[in-house]
Amino acid sequence: MKPIVEIFDMTTEELIQTVEIPSVYVDQLAALMGWTTPEDSCFVYDLLPHQIRTIEEWTRTTFNGGNRIIQIVCLE
């Protein structure tokens, strides 16, 4: 599993940025997202503010702006 944060412009829905979450955080990510089965990671999820803050800490990245759609997807 390769978790990726995708950041889109809310107005144009254009992809602005992608950020890969380091593999060392996969188990913590599952807990943060509330995933209980492996299939739970197969979907695209909008991130909540507390999830965004935690992932920003893990990736040492800031997902700036209020006009953003911030989602997570896991690639195989």
Q: What is the DSSP string of the chain?
A: -EEEEEEEETTT--EEEEEEPPGGGHHHHHHHHT--SGGGGGS-EEPPHHHHHHHHHHHT-----SSEEEEEEEE-
pLDDT, one tens digit per residue, over 14-68 is: 999 999 999 999 999 999 999 999 899 999 999 999 999 999 999 999 987 789 9
Tokens at 69, concatenated: 């759609």
**pTM of the predicted structure, to 2 decimals:** 0.89
CATH T-level fold of 2-75: Chitinase A; domain 3 (3.10.50)
